Amino acid sequence: MELMPPNLDLMTLLRLCALIALPFALGFAVLAYVMPRERPALVNWAGFDAMLFSGLALATLRGQLPDVLTYVLADVAMVLAFILWRRGNRVYFGVAASDRDALAAWALLAAGLFTGDFPRDNLMPGVLVVYGFLAWLSLQGSFELARCLGKGFHWLPRLLVVTPTAVFGAFSLLKAVLVAFMPVEEHLSSVVLLQQPQPSNIAYVLLGFFGIISVNIAFAFLLVIRLHGDVGRFHYLAQHDALTDLANRRELNDDLEREMARQQRSGEVFSLLMLDVDYFKRYNDDYGHLAGDEALRWLAGVLSLTARREDIVARIGGEEFCIVLPAAGREEAMQVAERIRCAVAESRGPGINRRAISISIGVAEHGDMNETPTELIARADEALYRAKSGGRNRVESA
């Protein structure tokens, strides 16, 4: 049974491999220009495809150009391609590992091959080293990639990303072993990959053909994952306060609408707390705005720790905060508010030799199905105003 159609020989398949690598190299080069954050990894991945194209293109010209170009330079380019592949993966995942060992070995390989005499009667040493080098880079890089993908990735995408290079590395190792135990007189007839359509050579080139496609799809998959993470990060930043990392006013409005929708379905009431730091302007004037920011971050931590697990804490601007209390009526909301007020008043607060921080809280229960989030916030704000007018460091309800 033939592995390839009769009109598709090894040279044609190898040319297809080179042509496939070229657009990927150009594409990643363009992406490196427009994606500065991912540029270090993309430059290496583009170099991987560029070196593959160069090495494969030179290999297809064996017999037409000098052997030093079609054998030596082609092999050197192929090995350099996998060094760049491994380096790009390390840069992408932030792995602090040096490529000096691989680059030094590559330099020795290139020097050794280029100083050889051509044509050769015995190709075993050079071919053995090249196959062994490709096997080492592919298998070691695949192991690193699997370990990096193991942090938060499902087993299936890990398998799809790692398998092509791992299989290629295993096959390269097998080829190296076959070459090592092959009689010298068979080297020219069997090892010359592109000139003898032996089953192992055909399988190796086919594996390379699908491997190039698979590896570049894996690159694209990693980029999509990173872009998706960026979108999620931007979405998070759009919904959270930059100083305290609490929910912001936009997220508070969304939470209130969700609670109101839930209330319409279940009939269960909820409440809203609005609180304000007492004499915060004076605190800023006395200790500076940096100390004021520190106090707000400290207060955000106290509120998050003291509120119930299901409560939603938000900073809506300046020194004003809101807390949504799901499934809490007025009485329970007053108890939660008093517990929060005491927790703040009894804490030493941020900084040494600074006066204590206190808060005033307004409580509003949402029981009217027709009340909007804005109206609920306004009622809680009125209760807060009464708490501040009544002497501060106290709780009032609407």
More confident residue, 353 or 6: 353
Say if residue 323 is in the same domain as residue 296: yes
Least confidently predicted of 218-227, 270-279, 308-317: 218-227
- Percentage of residues of the chain with pLDDT beyond 70: 84
C-beta separation of 351 from 383 below 8 A: no
What is the pLDDT at residue 178? 76
Provide the 3-class DSSP secondary structure of residue 247. Answer: strand
pLDDT tens-digit series, residues 128-174: 778 888 888 899 889 988 888 876 677 777 888 888 889 888 888 88
Say if residue 188 is in the same domain as residue 224: yes
Say if residue 104 is in the same domain as residue 206: yes
More confident residue, 181 or 289: 289
Q: What is the DSSP letter of 214?
A: H
Domain membership of residue 219 as a residue range: 10-238
**Do the domain assignments include residue 5?**
no
pLDDT tens-digit series, residues 24-49: 999 999 999 998 888 999 999 999 99
Mean of the pLDDT values across residues 388-395? 92
Q: Please, which residues have CB within 8 angstroms of residue 251's CB and are 6 or more apart in sequence?
A: 239, 240, 314
Phi-psi region of 40 (alpha: psi -120 to 50; beta: other; left: phi over 0): alpha
What is the pLDDT at residue 193? 47
**Do the domain assignments include residue 175?**
yes
Say if residue 338 is in the same domain as residue 370: yes
What is the pLDDT at residue 119? 44
189 — pLDDT class (breaks 50, 70, 90): very low
CATH of the domain at 379: 3.30.70.270
Mean of the pLDDT values across residues 370-389? 92
Say if residue 321 is in the same domain as residue 281: yes
**Do the domain assignments include residue 98?**
yes
What is the pLDDT at residue 181? 73
Say if residue 20 is in the same domain as residue 107: yes
What is the pLDDT at residue 240? 86
- Percentage of residues of the chain with pLDDT beyond 90: 37
**Do the domain assignments include residue 123?**
yes
69 pLDDT more than 90: no
pTM: 0.60
Provide the 3-class DSSP secondary structure of residue 259. Answer: helix
**Do the domain assignments include residue 280?**
yes
CA dihedral 199, 203, 205, 209 (to 10 degrees): 150
276 pLDDT more than 50: yes
Say if residue 234 is in the same domain as residue 254: no
**Do the domain assignments include residue 350?**
yes
- Residue 203's alpha-carbon distances to 53, 187, 214, 311, in angstroms, are 19, 18, 16, 61
Q: Rounded mean pLDDT of the chain?
A: 83
Mean of the pLDDT values across residues 340-357? 80
What is the pLDDT at residue 300? 93
**Do the domain assignments include residue 4?**
no
What is the pLDDT at residue 116? 56
What is the pLDDT at residue 230? 64
Question: Which residue from 341, 103, 45, 21 is spatially nearest to 222, judged by alpha carbons?
Answer: 45
Paired sense of beta strands 395-397 and 359-366, if any: parallel
Of the residues 204, 238, 272, the one at which a domain ends? 238
97 — pLDDT class (breaks 50, 70, 90): low
Positive or negative torsion for Cα 212, 218, 222, 225: positive
| Tokens read off for 206 | 């086919």
Domain count, the chain: 2
What is the pLDDT at residue 368? 81
What is the pLDDT at residue 118? 47
